[in-house]
Structure 1
Amino acid sequence: MPKRNWLLSVLAIAGCWQLALPASGQALLPYTLNLEAEELETQGLALVQDAIQLARFEQYDLALPRAKLATQLAPDTFESWFVLGSLYVQQQQLDEGITVLRRAQRLAPREAGILFTLGSAYFQKADYQAALRELEAALRLDSTSLEGLFDLGNTYLMLKRFPEAIATYKKAMEQEPRFWPGVNNIGLVRYEQGDIEGAIADWEAALAIDPNAAEPMLAIAVARYRQGRQSEALKQGQAALALDQEYGSLDYLKKNLWGDRLLADAARFFSNPQMQALTTISPNP
């Protein structure tokens, strides 16, 4: 999969980029306490905006304390808890993130972005049944979310529910026909089903969308190597790793949802002397 700022994706799903800040100074003078509460909430939501902008530039160490303070100043707005929970998940503090996101959900039970983020948190914990529950609920509220459909497809893939994974990736492609990761992951599914030629066709289709996509390029090389087309495979594999050397790690490929068959074939491919210098092979793919 291409690298993406996951946090920004879920915030975009939820529509939290332009938060509506409550107007300050509109209360009558006798209602001083209400005015102070409104001002605190305004300051809290302004901090939420700051945290989002800092996250945009991956300055999470600065974004997190602002989001924490926002929950104190605006405890009754779901946005403050949602952004804090999302930051925790982005930083792999998954249990903390889930706890905070549940509070956001109590404030906004029909906010799809919260459910999408919970789904991602459970996916990262490898609790795929819980991820499935949250993502399906989110998509009932927002059925056209490209990121949500892709994450649901990935969840079906990890559960080895292959037909449902393919169908969901295809739904994602309906939203954005040039979304090559969806085509790429259909290839991952087909390979695990034993359809090597079908997988290669999908990866070639992904490359037709983005000729510089290292993942489908490497996957084709691994498949060709298995088929005995070594010269072609080695040339294409070297070209893929020249684009992104991270794909030379089996651990990295596993994080990108390569299945057992494809990982085993990648290990054999990487063991070729011409590939060894470019790769990092872990002992247990």
Structure 2
Amino acid sequence: MRAAVRAAGARERGLERESGSPAARRPSQHRAHQAGRLGHPPPDRRRRAERIAVTGRGLAAGLLASIAVLATADVAWCQPSEADVFVAEGILALEDKKYDEALEGFRRALQREPGHVEALYYAGVALMAQNKAAEAAPLLERARRISPEEMAVAYQLGLAYFSLNRYDEAQVVLEHVFRRDPGLDSLGYYVGYLRYRKGDHQGALQAFRAGRTTDPNIAQLTRFYTGLALNAMGMSRQAAAEVEQALRLQPASPLAGPAERLRQSFAESRDAEWRLHASLRLGGYFDDNVNARPSAHPSSDTVNALRRPENQSWGELASLRLEYDWLKTGPWTSTVGYSFFTTYNNRLPSFNIIDHLGTVTVSRQDLLGSMPLISSVQYAYEYLMLGGTELLQRHAASIYSTLVEGPHNLTNVIFKAEVRNFVEKGQVDSEQFQDGNNYMLGLLHVFRFAQDRHLLKLGYQFDYESAQGSNFAYLGNRFIVGAQYTLPWYNVRLIYDFSLHRRNYLNKNTLFPEDDPGTRKRQDDEYTHLLRVEVPVGGGFTVGADYQGTNQRSNLAPYTYTRSIYTLSVSYTY
């Protein structure tokens, strides 16, 4: 007996020296990554059980040694309970893959202490090793009710739900564990898979990126599903690279064949994407202030002269947009585009508009962590005619980036520089020349809901107009709010956009006020409301009804006006 005591004491001292190791802790103190990993659809539950049992063997041996010491020593503290002894014996059997014997030990422990957390937990582990998740789940549920903050128990319970295809319950439990410690062994894969199957592709990507695993099979599956998530987000090049990494991890894996076919399909899908995009819109409208007639003012002769009776008109409109992706290589895409827009005012044809716009855009897709980033540079040339004669030529260069932070957030940043050349009719004072440059910096954030069926937009833009004529130079601030709601019937979309453009002109106006020109700087507040109802009717056709209302208020009467345009149109998108 003394020899046994000495041996036990030596083991006790060894455990004390290794108190930082998993073997020196009670099962309830184990980190969740020592709870094991599920084998369905990822690999092999038995390997998981072996890993848990290894951490439990030191515990069991230490507990048995402690019992031997306490049995022979004159001590004042309580001896381990009989249930603890059965748990220790069960853990030893679990390590040796004697699952029935291990379960018998855990059951005996539970007969003596029905609320013994370690017995419930390890009984669940043993049953999972025998592919009996349906029997393991109730035991693990009991353990979690007793010890709700024990991550090892929660993790194992989530895996049991996963194995039983109870994915909604599994996601609730595993998301809780993931929030506490996203780096737990293999946890990122399970959380990512559950998010992916619900269509949360970016959330899945974030989980896959945060995950860690020591199991090569889980590592391969993580890469595989990362590729699927990226492809669903439209990033086929990055998706193919992830699947290729999955192939390199285990070339002889049963997944190798499907993964290779998937990688090829990603590459082919990018090549097969439509390079030509087109849309055509035809419609009619009513405009109650075609020529932006100033609002009535009792003491302004200029306003009274401009308020001619003919300012309303019915009309027709047409627009055409063509885009062609002429270059697609790696992360780069280059697109050339052309847009045409025209209006015909039946009663005021001198205000008909014909607009031509050509663009060249170069874009690059990247990942910022797990967030897609699309950066673009664009050059645009516009030629605008009013009443059949040239009014304006415009050159614009834009740099903009869109960052998709998650399934519910998107941010766009833009900088644009424009050069405008107006065609002036007749003799114009130098202060009235509108030619000049405009510089704009803007930020727009979009809150996304229900996979972009519903949107909320908030934005701000600052612009500086450097006009040749002193009467038109200004600093502007634009505030943007918008929303989209998709009805549950026929996918009808309700869209509302509002903007307030505040312009503070830099110089005193040389024309107004009429009774004292050159004494006041112009200040405008332009309120714009756009309400649109879209009804998809199938085959690429959409019927739309629009209302656009403009209310411009100025401290100089000739620049104050209101305008409303009502439009009904049909569009086709290819």
- TM-score by length of structure 2 reads 0.33
Which residue, out of 57, 67, 70, partners 1:26? 70
Aligned 8 A contact 2:84 2:109 in 1: no
Aligned counterparts, 1:87-236, within 5 A = 87-173=126-212, 179-192=219-232, 196-224=236-264
Letter in 2 for 1:3: P
Q: Cα 1:62–1:96, aligned 2, differ >3 Å: closer, same or farther?
A: same
- Alignment partner, residue 232 of structure 1: none
Q: Cα 1:127–1:79, aligned 2, differ >3 Å: closer, same or farther?
A: same
Aligned 8 A contact 2:195 2:204 in 1: yes
Letter in 1 for 2:152: G
Q: Distance in 2 between matches of 1:195 and 1:88?
A: 41
Letter in 2 for 1:72: Q
Letter in 2 for 1:150: Y
Which residue, out of 65, 70, 79, partners 2:118? 79
SS in 1 for 2:58: coil
1:49 aligns with 2:88: no
Cα RMSD (Å): 3.8
- Alignment partner, residue 234 of structure 1: none
> Structure 2: 5+ residue runs without aligned partners?
1-40, 269-574
> Structure 1: 5+ residue runs without aligned partners?
229-285
TM-aligned CA deviation for residue 112 of structure 1: 0.8
Poorly superposed stretches of 4+, deviation over 6 Å = 175-178, 225-228
- Alignment partner, residue 273 of structure 1: none
Q: Distance in 2 between matches of 1:13 and 1:157?
A: 32
Q: Distance in 2 between matches of 1:186 and 1:136?
A: 18
Aligned 8 A contact 2:237 2:267 in 1: no
SS in 2 for 1:21: helix
Aligned counterparts, 1:4-43, within 5 A = 4-5=44-45, 8=48, 12=52, 16=56, 18-19=58-59, 21=63, 23-24=66-67, 26=70, 38=80, 40-43=82-85
Aligned counterparts, 1:232-251, within 5 A = none
Q: Distance in 2 between matches of 1:67 and 1:223?
A: 47
Letter in 2 for 1:155: L
Higher relative contact order (CA 8 A, sep 6+): 1
Q: Distance in 2 between matches of 1:86 and 1:176?
A: 19
Identical counterparts, % of pairs: 21
Q: Cα 1:46–1:171, aligned 2, differ >3 Å: closer, same or farther?
A: same
TM-aligned CA deviation for residue 152 of structure 1: 1.1
TM-aligned CA deviation for residue 163 of structure 1: 0.8
Q: Cα 1:14–1:49, aligned 2, differ >3 Å: closer, same or farther?
A: closer
TM-aligned CA deviation for residue 119 of structure 1: 0.9
TM-aligned CA deviation for residue 166 of structure 1: 1.0
Q: Distance in 2 between matches of 1:14 and 1:145?
A: 18
Query: Between Structure 1 and Structure 2, whose CA radius of gyration is higher?
Result: 2
